[in-house]
Structure 1
Amino acid sequence: MRIVLVGPPGAGKGTQAAYLAKNLSIPHISTGDLFRANISQGTELGRRAKSYMDAGDLVPDEVTIGMAKDRMEQADAENGFLLDGFPRNVSQAEALDQMLKSEGMKLDAVLDLEVPEEEVVKRIAGRRICRNDSSHVFHVTYSQPKQEGVCDTCGGELYQRADDSEDTVRNRLDVYHTQTEPIIDHYRAQGLVVTISALGAVTDVTERAMEALRRLKGEQ
């Protein structure tokens, strides 16, 4: 299957993408991973992306699209892929449509993870990261440390990242509503959108998504 995963920040896209890609035996293609790989490998697209990023500018759509195209043409993506973080706006979605059409391919589904806005704010603004090791993550509501402000694993100080503050989260949501949400309407017009609730346990959300995809596949 060829799937695009969409949803607001804090919806758990990265986590769900990893589970779904494994269950479906297709590669998980994440925009963040594409950027890191191209920059670390020193590709032409990576060098172009880095020049914009170093200047504090947004990377142009054509560079992001080029990276995605290169990745989707690799052998492991021949029988499908799951795109996470791309397309990010309608012009990227239109470019993806054309790219697939030129290869005689099409998307099977656009999986929309739905989370109420206040839950997104609660999820992200409540995160606390260990200063010693950023992989040690706690939450003021869902995963509290035994001692407030202290990492259970190594005793390091827990802090809130600047981009996890409530104001920043709300700004990120505004950007999502303005730039990314319109792609849902773009794909809904093609009959590709499947919306599921991303509330509850990770495994429950994955099963909901798999069931929705099974139903969609059965209808085609």
Structure 2
Amino acid sequence: MRLILLGPPGAGKGTQAQRLIERYGIPQLSTGDMLRAAVAAGTDVGKRAQAVMDAGELVSDEIVVGIVDERIEEPDAKKGFVLDGFPRTVPQADALEKMLSEKGLKVDAVIEFQVDEKVLVGRIEKRAAETAAKGLPIRKDDKPEVFLRRLEEFKAATTAVGPYYRERGILHSIDGMAPIDEVTRRIEEILTAAALD
């Protein structure tokens, strides 16, 4: 089961990814985590990524896809994986499709979390306030100005990724504002139907 979770920051992708990991025994692949791991392990792709980051530049799609390519060869990803936060652009989606196709693999389903932005911003502000009230440090991503910037970046870059997968008949939109258990149930329905196709 190879899945992609699409949606803006704060939409609940991380929570649902954890549930998918537990249910299916497949890893969640976060490009940020994989990038750090490849750099730490000193792999070829990791060394290239390090050189780019040291120069203060953004890591190219080619490098990110190379890191995903390396990671899905690991034994724990043989049964599948959950990609969260990637692909962020249509060129990344194209590169991912090409790389998987060369391995005789494909994405089984793309789940798009649809959200009400105003409610989402309120949710993040509430989470930050609750964290602060407990005397804990607020996650950098939960600071309203950072969150709003990430939301704008998501809209600018990632909005075209949904239609890309809709054309391929594997995009499933769900209400990301529904209660957590309801979102999980809806994802289960989608995956059951995808497995039967």
TM-score normalised to structure 1 length: 0.80
- CA–CA distance in 1 between the matches of 2:154 and 2:143? 16
Secondary structure in 2 matching 1:83: strand
- Amino acid of the residue matched to residue 73 of structure 2? E
Query: What residue in structure 2 maps to residue 167 of structure 1?
Result: 145
2 CA distance for matches of 1:50 and 1:120?
A: 34
Match of 1:202 in 2: 180
1:186 counterpart residue number: 164
Match of 1:9 in 2: 9
**1:163, 1:79 → 2: CA distance?**
31
1:150 Cα deviation from its structure 2 partner: 4.5
Q: Percent of aligned pairs with the same residue?
A: 42
The 1:58–1:125 alpha-carbon spacing in structure 2 relative to 1, beyond 3 Å, is farther
Question: 1:205-216 residue pairs with structure 2 within 5 A?
Answer: 205-216=183-194
Secondary structure of 1:87's partner?
coil
Across the aligned residues of Structure 1 and Structure 2, the Cα RMSD in angstroms comes to 2.1
- AA aligned to 2:174 is I
Alpha-carbon separation, structure 2, partners of 1:81 and 1:35: 16
Give the deviation of 1:209 after TM superposition.
0.9
**Structure 1 residues 2, 160: closer, same or farther in 2, change over 3 A?**
closer
1:113 maps onto 2:106 in alignment: no
Given that 1:90 and 1:183 are in contact with CA atoms closer than 8 Å, whether structure 2 keeps it comes out as yes
Amino acid at match of 1:82: V
Question: CA, structure 1 residues 165+28, in 2 after alignment: closer, same or farther (shift >3 Å)?
Answer: closer
**Paired position in structure 2 for 1:22:** 22
Q: Give the equivalent residue in structure 1 for 2:124.
A: 124
SS of residue paired to 2:182: helix
Whole-angstrom CA distance in 1 between matches of 2:72 and 2:118: 35
* Structure 1 residue 62: Cα displacement: 1.0
Q: Deviations over 1:141-195 (max 9, x none)?
A: xxx47xxx553xxxxx445455433333222112111211211111100000011
State the partner residue of 2:48: 48
Separation in structure 1 between the aligned mates of residue 125 and residue 50 of structure 2, nearest angstrom: 29
Counterpart-to-counterpart distance in 2, 1:217 and 1:26: 15
Deviates most, 161-170 or 1-10 = 161-170
| Larger fraction in helix | 2
Distance 1:123 1:51 in 2: 38
Q: Deviations over 1:31-62 (max 9, x none)?
A: 12202211222223223323333444211111
Q: List alignment gaps of at least 5 residues for structure 1.
A: 129-139, 152-156
**2: distance between equivalents of 1:123 and 1:55?**
36
Q: Which amino acid letter does the alignment assign opposite residue 80 of structure 2?
A: G
Task: Give, in whole Å, the separation in 1 of the partners of 2:141 and 2:17.
Answer: 22
- Contact 1:20 / 1:210 at 8 angstroms: preserved in 2? no
Give the superposition deviation at 1:100: 1.5
